[in-house]
Amino acid sequence: MRSRPYTALVAVAVALTATACTAQNQEQQKPKAKAALFKSGSEISYKKYGKDYPATKAKDVPGPCSYESISRKDYSGQTLKIISHAVPVIGEPTQLHAKQFEDITGGKVEVVNVPFGELHQKILTPLQAGQPAYDVMFYPSLWIGDMAPYLAPVPKTYLNSPGMKDVTKAYMDVATWNGKVVQYPIDGDRHYLKVRTDVLMDPKRQAEYKKATGKELRVPRTWAEYQQTAKFFSGKDFDGDGKANYGSAEVTKRDDLTFSAFISRAAPYVKNPDVKGGVFFDVKTMKPLINTPGFVRALDDMVKAKSTWAPGGANFGLGDEIFSFGGGQTLMSYSWDDAFIQAQQPDSRIRNKIQAAPLPGSTEVYNRTTKSWDSKANQAPYFTWGWTSAVAKPSPHQQMAFDYLCFFGNEANTALDLTIGRFGVNPYRNAHFDPAFWEKQGWDKDVAESYVHTLSGMEKSTNRVFDLRVPGVNQYMSALANGVAAALAGQSSPQQALDDVAKEWSKITDQIGTDKVQSAYRNVVELEDNS
């Protein structure tokens, strides 16, 4: 009985302290006003931040995220903590914009750069433990199923900004979870085909190909054509530099995004426009579909493609793929923008000798309802994750955090970031689909148009595949990559490898909870079926 007054006193003290802290936090969140450091429409360049940045300039576009608006805010005395990927991909622009943000607002910004393999746990573990270690987080958007419960929804002020309004529908969908925008779009990624036009458009090569195969040499429209073309040119010195060239560069290293490469190959075989209800699982039963005939055929194709890869191609990570195609070693590749941008760098020997095209399709697509193959030409663009950013729900600096992200992705910064290949920032706003913008960077008209039309064409497609964005997505993708790698290494047949993956997926679903995964997977199916 005696302890009661003390208990009450402690409770009151805790409540008062909490209120005081909250009030202090709220006070901290609000920036003070100061004079703008930039005039509206000023010319922006990164020149003052080092020689590594090109002298390219962009105009500050008026709006709440512009240099002019953000520089009116005084965040001195506040510190923002950010976690991002290792330099350079996304990590470098995170650091650069942090320095700029510090310079113009007076606030302190601490950036922690983490290798890809450690990023997930370094972000999620503190959030799970209720410790807001970071205010802002940069991570692959497919982790939304794991992250969503810990993210602060993007406030309306930012959602109504002109820059955000211009984000394409696909990327606003990627940022949305259960009807709320919880991820702040800063990048748009998708897989598409890249080819060397100096070979494919060369009349001499076309004649040789026709003579040998009886077919026209062109940018492949199906995976079968891709294989035939890649095989024909593999091992030949088709650019006359005295070294052998190869047909195809693909991401095949088990723990280096192989799952995305495989999904690209499987998409046209498994995404049937007439069949709704999920590509990876049957959303009604949550039975894995990963070992159905469409996926097996894609893995068969991938195993056959080994003969078209450069030496070591069976262990290519994303970096190898970038430099194999971007460096002119291979005729074709498919993955994110990086290899294309690498090939278009001013010092590249294949600059303006390349073209972008949609991912190859198929002449038939599996129908899991009728359990048979439908004979029809099919293409299925794959929106494969892409970097995103978000603000932690428990962050005491939410306004500063959103202001930083708003500044990171403002029109001027994005225009400059898009031109620096190593940054990993790729088109995600309608304004980015303008060939003139790329021509200004020295791209030939044909190259710029092929790039822009390929990317914007994906936005218009109604038969798209998105990533499996469910809780535990890393586990599912790790199991898939393991199966693909086992088949590529000859340890299992494609069917056996994918049967093993399906078993593993069922186990993972049971472990996480079928209802939980199903509820999340409905969001993915909704994106695909409504597209």
Partner 1 sequence: MDGLRRHKSMFLLPGLLTLFLIIIFPLLFTIRVSFSGWNVSNPAMDFIGGANYTAMLHDSRFWASITRLILLAGGTVLIQYVVGFGMALLVWRETRGRRLWRVLFLIPMMTTPVVMAAIWQTIFHESLGPANDLLDMLGLTGIPWLTESGPALVALMTVEVWQWTPFMFLLLLAGLLSLPKEPFMAAAIDGAGTWRTFWKVTFPLMAPVSVAAVIIRLIEASKLSDSVYVLTSGGPGSSTETPGYYLYIQGLRDQQTGYGGAMSLTYLVLMIVTLTVVAALLTRAFKLKGDS
Positions in the binding site for partner 1 (CB under 8 A): 117-118, 120-121, 124-125, 128-129, 145-146, 253-256, 310-315, 471-472, 474-475, 478, 482, 485-486, 488-491, 511-513, 516
CB of 473 to partner 1, least distance (A): 9
Cβ proximity to partner 1, 326 vs 427, nearer residue? 326
CB of 447 to partner 1, least distance (A): 27
Longest dimension (CA), the chain: 100
Structure tokens at 261: 């490469």
Which of 275/489 has CB closer to partner 1? Answer: 489
Exposed (0-12), middle (13-18) or buried (19+): which is 202, by Cβ within 10 Å?
middle
In terms of Cβ atoms closer than 10 Å to its own Cβ (0-12, 13-18, 19+), residue 307 is: middle
Burial of 461 (0-12, 13-18, 19+ CB in 10 A): middle
Least Å distance, CB 526 to partner 1, is: 20
Name the pairing type of β-strands 136-140 and 387-391. antiparallel
User: Of the two residues 254 and 464, which places its CB atom closer to partner 1 in the complex?
Assistant: 254
d(CA 124, CA 177): 17
- CA 229 distance to own-chain centroid: 28
Which CB, 124 or 159, lies closer to partner 1?
A: 124
The alpha helices in 187-334, defined as continuous H runs, are 197-200, 203-213, 223-233, 258-270, 293-304, 318-326
Query: Tokens 């199906």 label which residue?
Result: 222
CB of 511 to partner 1, least distance (A): 7
- Consecutive H or E run containing 108: strand 108-114
Q: How far is the CB of 18 from partner 1 (least distance, A)?
A: 23
Least distance to partner 1 from the beta carbon of 305, Å?
13
Separation between Cα atoms, residue 496 and residue 407, nearest integer Å = 49
Q: Contact 65/185 with Cβ under 8 angstroms?
A: no
Shortest distance, CB of residue 37 to partner 1, whole angstroms?
Answer: 43
**The tokens 């969001």 sit on which residue?**
523
Cβ nearer to partner 1, comparing 190 with 253: 253
> DSSP letters along 29-64, please?
HSPEE---SS-TT-EE-SGGG-TTS----EEPPPST
Which residue's entry shows tokens 């060239």? 245
CA 25 from chain centre, in angstroms, equals: 34
Return the number of the residue (179 or 490) whose C-beta is nearest partner 1: 490
Distance from C-alpha of 122 to C-alpha of 33, rounded to nearest angstrom: 34
Kindly tell me which of 260 and 482 has the beta carbon lying closer to partner 1: 482
Q: Between 75 and 316, whose beta carbon lies closer to partner 1?
A: 316
In the bound state with partner 1, the residue whose beta carbon lies nearer, of 57 and 503, is 503
Closest to partner 1 by CB, 96 vs 310, is 310
A 10 A CB-CB count for 32 gives 12
Can you give 239-287 as a three-state secondary structure string?
Answer: CCCCCCCEEEECCCCCCCCHHHHHHHHHHHHHCCCCCCCCCCEECCCCE
Which is closer to partner 1, CB of 57 or CB of 516?
516
Cβ of residue 336: shortest distance to partner 1, in angstroms? 19
Within a 13 Å sphere around the CA of 171, how many CA atoms are in the beta-carbon half?
26
Tell the smallest beta-carbon distance from residue 132 to partner 1 (Å): 15
Write down how long the chain is. Answer: 531
Q: How far is the CB of 471 from partner 1 (least distance, A)?
A: 4
Supply the minimum distance, in Å, between the C-beta of residue 235 and partner 1: 12
Omega before 88 within 30 of 0, i.e. cis: yes
Shortest CB 314 distance to partner 1, Å: 4
Only one residue has tokens 């054509």, namely: 225
Shortest Cβ 483–partner 1 spacing (Å): 9
How, if at all, do strands 184-185 and 387-391 pair? antiparallel
- Bin 359: left if φ > 0, else alpha if -120 < ψ < 50, else beta: beta
Nearer to partner 1, 214 or 490 (CB): 490
When the beta carbons of 108 and 120 are compared against partner 1, the nearer one is 120
Torsion over CA of 252, 256, 257 and 259, rounded to 10 degrees? 60
Whether the Cβ atoms of residue 321 and residue 328 lie closer than 8 Å to each other: no
